[in-house]
Structure 1
Amino acid sequence: MTATVQIARSAPKTADAVGVPVGTSGAVPRSLGLSRAALAAHGFEGKVGQTLVVPSASGATHIAVGIGDGAMSATSVRTAVAALVRAAGKRAVVATTLVDAAGGEAGRAAQAATEGALLAAYRYAGIKKTPNPSHLRELVLVVPEAKAKASTAGAERGRVIAEAACLARDLANTPPAYLTARMMAEKAMEVGAATGLTVEVFDEHQLEEMGCGGILGVNRGSTEPPRMVRLTYTPRNPVGHLAMVGKGVMFDSGGLSLKPSDGMIAMKLDMSGAAAVLSAMSTLKALKCRAKVTGYLMCTDNMSGGDAYKLGDVLTFRNGKTAEIHNTDAEGRLVLADALAVAAEAEPDAIIDLATLTGAVMVALGKGIAGLMGNNDDFTAQITDAAKWAGESVWALPLPEEYRSALDSPIADLKNIGGDRYGG
C-alpha cells in the first residue's frame, strides 16, 4: 500500500503523530511541552535527522524532529521527514509543519518531504503468508495558504519519483524464480502501458538475427531465455534524445567462474541497473520530460549449465567487435555491449549506462557512493549535479587511455577483463 500525501492548513484531528521541527538553536515550540534543557537531557540537539518521541496521555503523539540551523536543503528535508516516519513507527497518519519551517522554495521542500516519507515507509511485501506491513497511510504537510499551491505540485512530483524508486526496490528484492527475464519483460510492458511508453520486446531468436552475441553468449548456460526490452518516451517537439541502458542479469552465479556462496546469495540484485532504467522511464510522462528518452533492459541469467560459455571463447557483439572471455563472472559488460551498440545506432545525444558491474567500485568508494565514469566532462558534471539535487552520492572515476592496453587480446578485439586484480 502506498501512503497518500495531503496539503493542509493545520494538522487533522485524525493524526496519530505530529512532527514538530526543532532547530539547534532558538525557541522550542510550546506544543512539545519540553524545554531545550529537557530535550538535551534526552540526547536531542536539533541536528538534522534526530528525533525524540514525546509520549502523550491523549491525542496525537508529538515527535521532535531536528532541522539543524538555518534554511534546509532538499537533502536535509528528505532526511528529516524520513526520520520522522521511522520514529512514528506504527502510527498511520503523520502530520508535520516541517515544509514551512524548512525555508526556501516550498515546492522543492514538499517534494523532498514526500520522497523522504514514502521511501522511509517502503517495505517489500516478500513471499510470506503474512506480508510485511507498511504502517504509514497518510502524510499531511501543514503549510500556510500562500505555500499551498507550490507544495501541492511539489508533493505530487515527489510522489511520482518515490513510487518509481519503490518499483525499482521491489524488482531488485524479488527472488530470481519470481522474476525471470521473460517476467521482467512482461513487467516492462505493464509499466509502459500504464505510463505512456512504447515497449518492444526482443526474444532470443530476434537477438540472434540482430547479432547480439554478448547477451546470447552469457545466456547459454541458462534454461531461461534472454530478453531485450526497448522502452521509448517521445514528447511533442523533443528538445533532445537521451538513451539509458540497464544491466538486467536476473541472477548471476558467475558462470563457470563460479562465485562463492556468500558472494552469490545477493546476486538477484544484479538486475538493479535494468530496474533503475525501467523505473526512471516510468516517471517521464508524469514529470513532463521535454526530451525523447529510450531505455534498454538487457535481461538474462548467468549460469553454469552444460552449454555455458567458457573461458577462451570469443563472443561477437552487435557492432561486429569481438571479445575473448577470460572470466565468465565479468559478464555484465558483455550483456551491455550489445545494447550500447543498438542504442548508438539511433545517434542519441548521450547514453547513460547503469549497472552493478564490479565490486571494485565498492572497494574504492564504499557502500554509499556510486562510481561514475564518462567520456564527456560536461555531461558527467550534469550527472553529478543531478545526483546531488536528488540526494544521491556519485563520484567521478577516471578512464585513462593508458589502461586500454590491459584489455588487448591476441585473437579478438579485446579481452573481457584485465590481466591482474587492479583497476576493477
Structure 2
Amino acid sequence: MTLATLELAESAPDAQLLVLPVIRLEESLTVSAPAGLPDLEPYLEATGFLGKSGETQKIAIPVDGGVRAAIALGLGDASDEEQARRAGGALARAVATSAISIDVDALDPAIREAVLLGAVLASYRFTPYKSEEDDAALATISVVTADDARASAEIARVSAIASSVALVQDAVNTPPNDLPPAALADIAVRVAESKGIESRVWDAEQLREGGFGGLTAVGQGSSRGPRLVRLDYRPEGAQLHVALVGKGITFDTGGLSLKPAGSMVGMKFDMAGAATIVGVLQAAVELDIKVAITGWLCIAENMPSSTATRPDDVVTIYGGKTVEITNTDAEGRIVMADGIAAASEEHPDLIIDIATLTGAQIVALGDRTTAVMGNDDAWTSSVVEASRSIGEPSWAMPIPEEVGDTLKSPVADLANMRSGNRSAGMLVAAAFLERFVGERADGEGAIPWVHLDIAGPSNNTSAAYGYVPKGATGVMVRTLIALLESRS
C-alpha cells in the first residue's frame, strides 16, 4: 500500500512544508504554529483566507532573514470531528510534496486525531501497476508536539485504523487476474498469522465434501476454485462474540445469466465485503478490542462455462436448506447463505454480514450511503449510530414480511431471486439472507443479525472527496471498529 506515515518531531524539519492549522472563532483567527514565528494573522488576511473548514492557502513566512513555505489549513471552529477529517483530506490533496510537518498542540486531542486520520486516509495511492512513481505523493507527516506520550498514542491509533482501511483498498483495487479466490484467502491467512489470529481454509473439494453447496455452486464455473476462510480472534476478557460474514466474489460475470459488457467493468470490487473483515480483524488486534470475533470469508469467482451452475438448478446450502437458482447473477446471496448458516452453528451474540450485494442499493441510496437491515432494531440502530459517528453515511431499511414471501419456490425451500419483478431488489436480497440466520443458543428466537449492503459505497467511481480517494474506499471498516470498541 502507498500511505503516508506519521512520525513524531520536536520541531518542524526545515525541508518540509509547514502546515498551519487555523481555527476561526467569530471574527478572529487562531493559528497553531511553532514558536518563533511572527504573527501570522495579517499574512492570512492579506490573502483573503477565512479559516473555513477545509480551506487551504499557501503562504511564504519570513523566518531568520529568509522565507519558509507554509500552507494554512482552515478548521472552522474546530468543534466537529468529521469536518476535521475532511479538512485533513483537503490538506493531503492540496500539497504537492512528499513531506509535511504540522504543529498540533493548539488543537483539542479529538480534533487533531481527526485531522491526522483524514490526511493519512486521503494520502492513499494504489500504485503496484504504475510504471512511474509519483514523487509528489504525500509520504511523511511529521507531527510537531510537546506532548510526546499522548501524541504517540494518537499516532498509533490513527496508523492502525488507516492501515486497516488501506489493506482493504489494496485487495479490492487489485485486478482480478492477480486475485483469484486462493489469493484472497492467502491475504487473509497472512494477516491472521502476523496478528496471532487462528485461521482455517476450505478448498473446493473440502467445500463440496463439507456440504457448502452455495460456494460450490457459484465457484464451479471457474477454473479457479472457491474458498471459505474462517478467522478466529479471541482476546482475554471478551464478553461478546460477533460473527462477521463477508461476500468475496473476486470477479462477477453474472455466470450463465451473463452481465452486459459494460456492467462487468468494476466487478473486481465484488469481494469488498470479505476484504472488510480482514481489515476489521487486523484493527481489532492492533487496537486491543475486547470482543471475540469470528470472520467468515465466502470467496468464489462467478464465471460461465460448461460446468457452471444453470438457472433451474437446485443447490443445497450448508445446513440443509435448498435453493432454486432462478438467476446466476444473484450469486452473492448464495455464497453468503453458506457463511451465515455456518456462523449460526456457534450461536454468536450477533451476526453482521457485509456484501456488495445489489445494484438496487445504489438505486435506493446512491454511491455513498450504506444500506443497513436486520432482524434486531437495537443492533441495527447501533450500527447506524456507529457509522454516523465516524462519518460513514448509512441508512436503516426495512425487510417487509411480504417481500420474503415472494421468494417461494415450487421445487425448493426458496428461490434465490423472484422472476419478472425487479422492485425492492435490495430488500428481497436481505430477506433471502435472513432465512439462513439460525436460532439463539437458548432457543428464544433468531440470533441478532445485521446486513450491510455496500454495493455503491465500496467503490468511489467519481473524483476524490473529503478523505475518500477514487477507487476502493474500505467503507465500513471504521464503522465496525467503532461498533466493536463501543462494546469492548
Q: TM-score, normalised by structure 2?
A: 0.80
Deviates more, 1:57-66 or 1:392-401: 57-66
1:96 aligns with 2:98: no
CA change 1:305–1:134 in 2 (3 A) is farther
**CA separation in 2, counterparts of 1:295 and 1:156?**
24
**CA separation in 1, counterparts of 2:343 and 2:292?**
13
1:248 aligns with 2:248: yes
**CA separation in 2, counterparts of 1:267 and 1:26?**
50
CA change 1:298–1:60 in 2 (3 A) is farther
Match of 1:48 in 2: 53
CA change 1:60–1:260 in 2 (3 A) is farther
CA change 1:23–1:221 in 2 (3 A) is same
CA change 1:357–1:159 in 2 (3 A) is same
Give the drift of 1:92: 2.1
Match of 1:151 in 2: 151
**CA separation in 1, counterparts of 2:136 and 2:167?**
15
Give the drift of 1:403: 1.3
Give the alignment partner of residue 76 of structure 2, picking from 68, 74, 95: 68
**CA separation in 2, counterparts of 1:402 and 1:291?**
36
Q: Counterpart amino acid of 1:84?
A: L
Match of 2:402 in 1: 402
CA change 1:267–1:131 in 2 (3 A) is farther
Match of 2:116 in 1: 114
**CA separation in 2, counterparts of 1:306 and 1:396?**
41
Correspondence list, 1:175-214, <5 A = 175-214=175-214
**CA separation in 2, counterparts of 1:101 and 1:320?**
61
Give the drift of 1:32: 6.1
**CA separation in 1, counterparts of 2:383 and 2:155?**
23
Q: Counterpart amino acid of 1:354?
A: I
Q: Counterpart amino acid of 1:3?
A: A
Match of 1:26 in 2: 27
Q: Contact conserved, 1:24 with 1:47, CA < 8 A, in 2?
A: no
Q: Deviations over 1:161-206 (max 9, x none)?
A: 1001011000000000111101111111111111121111111111
Give the alignment partner of residue 85 of structure 2, picking from 65, 78, 98: 78
Name the SS for the 2:244 alignment partner: strand
Q: Contact conserved, 1:19 with 1:94, CA < 8 A, in 2?
A: no
Match of 1:301 in 2: 301
**CA separation in 2, counterparts of 1:332 and 1:133?**
40
CA change 1:312–1:197 in 2 (3 A) is same
Q: Deviations over 1:221-280 (max 9, x none)?
A: 111011101111111132111110110000000111111111101000000111111111
Structure 2: unaligned runs, 5 residues or longer: 32-38, 426-488
**CA separation in 2, counterparts of 1:85 and 1:67?**
14
**CA separation in 2, counterparts of 1:227 and 1:92?**
40
Q: Contact conserved, 1:239 with 1:292, CA < 8 A, in 2?
A: yes
Give the drift of 1:8: 4.2
Q: Deviations over 1:307-340 (max 9, x none)?
A: 1111111111001111111111111000100011
**CA separation in 2, counterparts of 1:11 and 1:372?**
44
Deviates more, 1:120-129 or 1:215-224: 120-129
Give the drift of 1:60: 4.0
Q: Counterpart amino acid of 1:75?
A: E
Give the drift of 1:387: 1.2
Correspondence list, 1:2-401, <5 A = 2-8=3-9, 10-23=11-24, 25-28=26-29, 29=31, 30-31=39-40, 33-36=42-45, 38-40=46-48, 44-54=49-59, 60-69=68-77, 71-89=78-96, 91-97=97-103, 99-103=104-108, 106=109, 108-131=110-133, 135-145=137-147, 148-401=148-401
Match of 2:455 in 1: none
Name the SS for the 2:156 alignment partner: helix
Q: Counterpart amino acid of 1:13?
A: D
**CA separation in 2, counterparts of 1:222 and 1:335?**
15
Name the SS for the 1:94 alignment partner: strand
**CA separation in 1, counterparts of 2:176 and 2:414?**
31
Name the SS for the 1:395 alignment partner: strand
**CA separation in 1, counterparts of 2:361 and 2:106?**
38
CA change 1:262–1:359 in 2 (3 A) is same
Q: Counterpart amino acid of 1:96?
A: I
**CA separation in 2, counterparts of 1:55 and 1:331?**
57
CA change 1:367–1:122 in 2 (3 A) is same
CA change 1:409–1:131 in 2 (3 A) is farther
**CA separation in 1, counterparts of 2:220 and 2:82?**
44
CA change 1:196–1:7 in 2 (3 A) is same
Give the drift of 1:67: 0.9
Deviates more, 1:47-56 or 1:287-296: 47-56
**CA separation in 1, counterparts of 2:22 and 2:60?**
16
* Count of paired positions: 412
CA change 1:75–1:329 in 2 (3 A) is same
Cα RMSD over matched residues? Answer: 2.0
Name the SS for the 1:411 alignment partner: coil
**CA separation in 1, counterparts of 2:293 and 2:353?**
13
Give the drift of 1:72: 2.4
**CA separation in 2, counterparts of 1:366 and 1:241?**
32
Give the drift of 1:55: 5.0
Give the drift of 1:417: 1.2
CA change 1:219–1:182 in 2 (3 A) is same
Identity of counterpart residues, as a percentage?
39
Give the drift of 1:19: 3.2
RCO (CA 8 Å, sep 6+): is it higher in 1 or 2? 2
**CA separation in 1, counterparts of 2:41 and 2:299?**
52
Q: Contact conserved, 1:123 with 1:134, CA < 8 A, in 2?
A: no
**CA separation in 1, counterparts of 2:87 and 2:146?**
20
Q: TM-score, normalised by structure 1?
A: 0.92
